Amino acid sequence: MTFNDLCNKHGTDKGDEVREKHCYSFTYEKIFAPFKNKKINILEIGIADPLFPGASLKVLSEYFSKANIFGFDIVDCSHFNIERVKTLKGDAGCKEDILNILKIQSEFDIIIDDGSHLHDHHMNCFFNLFSSIKKGGLYIIEDLQAPTSEKTTNYFFNDTNKNKIKSCGVKKIELYNFGKLIALYNDIA
């Protein structure tokens, strides 16, 4: 099955049939292809969507059949723990909670931030987790336009953040889906 088929099957809005129909799945099919059949580590921040809880964990575990998948959310999601899937509880706005992830798994090939969609949380997670991305890996932030602020990605690229992002070792930045999805690479492919 394609990534989009799995998204639609499990009811996540990353596909092209459910709720907001973000269509991130088509971008993911392309950028995840090199990782699909490898033994990798994936972290997804934000896994307890109240309408389709755990949907993206199901998608990831089916698509990446050899991956270890870690999910992180502010609510307890331990009922989603299955073979190759482990969940952690914490607040994306709390640096200590984010750093606790690295005590469980210190390196990731892919990190997807689909958490609160608050800019401060995006930045806290990114600045504390990007260094855990393995060479050739990627860090993705979904839904850059937080519902409580202006509908742009400018906060991510303001002068303060832009300089801090460079110092983290980001080599390449790609915007997708009309600026709603950003992928940050630690290596130029």
Annotated active-site positions, please?
117
Query: CA 92 → CA 17, 54, 77, distances in Å?
Result: 28, 17, 15
Q: Give the bridge partners for 185, in sequence order.
A: 138, 172
The torsion region of residue 15 among left (phi > 0), alpha (psi -120 to 50) and beta comes to beta
Copy the structure tokens of residue 59.
């998608």
Query: CA 183 → CA 30, 48, 68, 111, 173, distances in Å?
Result: 12, 22, 20, 10, 6
**Residue 62 burial by Cβ neighbours in a 10 Å radius (0-12, 13-18, 19+):** middle
